Amino acid sequence: EAGVAQSPRYKIIEKRQSVAFWCNPISGHATLYWYQQILGQGPKLLIQFQNNGVVDDSQLPKDRFSAERLKGVDSTLKIQPAKLEDSAVYLCASSFRGSGRSGANVLTFGAGSRLTVL
Amino acid sequence: RKEVEQDPGPFNVPEGATVAFNCTYSNSASQSFFWYRQDCRKEPKLLMSVYSSGNEDGRFTAQLNRASQYISLLIRDSKLSDSATYLCVVKGTNAGKSTFGDGTTLTVKP
């Protein structure tokens, strides 16, 4: 089974510039998540999609961050304009909402996109 | 107060030691619980789910205390390869979000 694909792996930009990250989840996984992980902290949920609908975007800074999952498969996260505090790893994850204990609601992460804002 | 709290450590233990990590959560309606492992500069990976009856996977034992809103992870006979950050994860309803703690760092030394 192919894993969660993310690109780019690394990105360095200047503040006030824009950046976009792409994610392709595991085939068949209906739920897709974008997390932000700042150094020394745990991942923080930015947005959760169920198919192409948004389930939770309460912690997404909507003045500068946007995300879409138009066809219910791959997704793009955009930051415009970037701030210094946006320097972090952006992790995409997907899950299959199975039944029973085994594998239910388990998140599988991509390798992440490391953003440095100068 | 954070939704999920962990002792950040670091825990520095010798090979063969037994080490325990604790995690508390604030939402009493939480339904699913997990431990993830994250190696340096890598993505988090599922270590084990935590069930109400407690569960064991080799050298790893996870326990859940719903009354105290507390989860634990016990690692017996520590190996060098166990060195990593261990993330406690709490999930609400089926459609609810998964909330991560900030992790506990373990270093196992020869």
Q: Which two tokens stand for residue A48?
A: 């959760």
Q: Is B54 left (phi over 0), alpha (psi -120 to 50) or beta?
A: left
Angle at B54 between CA B49 and CA B57, to 5 degrees: 60
Residue A108: its chain B contacts at CB < 8 A? 46
Q: What is the mean pLDDT of chain B?
A: 94
pLDDT band of B96, cuts 50, 70, 90: confident
Structure confidence at residue A34 (pLDDT): 98
Structure confidence at residue A79 (pLDDT): 98
pLDDT band of B66, cuts 50, 70, 90: very high
- Residues B72-78 have a mean pLDDT of 98
Q: What residue in B sits closest to A110 (Cα-Cα)?
A: B43
Instruction: Enumerate residues 6+ apart whose C-beta is below 8 A from B17.
Output: B78, B108
Q: What is the pLDDT of residues B32-41, one digit of tens each?
A: 999 999 999 9
CB contact under 8 A, B101 and A101: no
Instruction: Enumerate residues 6+ apart whose C-beta is below 8 A from B12.
Output: B107, B109
CB-nearest partner of A42 from B34, B87, B94: B87
Q: What is the mean pLDDT of chain A?
A: 92
Measured between alpha carbons, how far is residue B34 from residues A89, A107, B55, B90 in Å?
21, 10, 11, 7
Residue type, B17: A
pLDDT band of B107, cuts 50, 70, 90: very high
CB A94 within 8 A of CB A4: yes
CB contact under 8 A, B43 and A91: yes
B98 φ/ψ angles, rounded to the nearest 5 degrees: -95, 120
**Beta strand A10-13 pairing with A113-117:** parallel
The strand ranges marked E within A72-112 are: 75-79, 88-95, 108-109
Nearest chain B Cα distance for residue A16, angstroms: 26
Residue B51: its chain A contacts at CB < 8 A? 101
Interface test with A, best of B39, B43, B46 (most A CBs within 10 A): B43
- Residues A22-50 have a mean pLDDT of 95
Q: What is the pLDDT of residues A82-110, one digit of tens each?
A: 999 999 999 999 998 654 444 557 899 99
Count of alpha carbons within 13 Å of A18, Cβ hemisphere only?
9
CB B72 within 8 A of CB B21: yes
Measured CA to CA, the distance from residue B70 to residue A68 in angstroms comes to 36
DSSP B61-80: EEEEETTTTEEEEEE-S--G
pLDDT band of B51, cuts 50, 70, 90: confident
Structure confidence at residue A71 (pLDDT): 86
Chain A CB within 8 Å of residue B90 CB:
no
Length of chain B equals 110
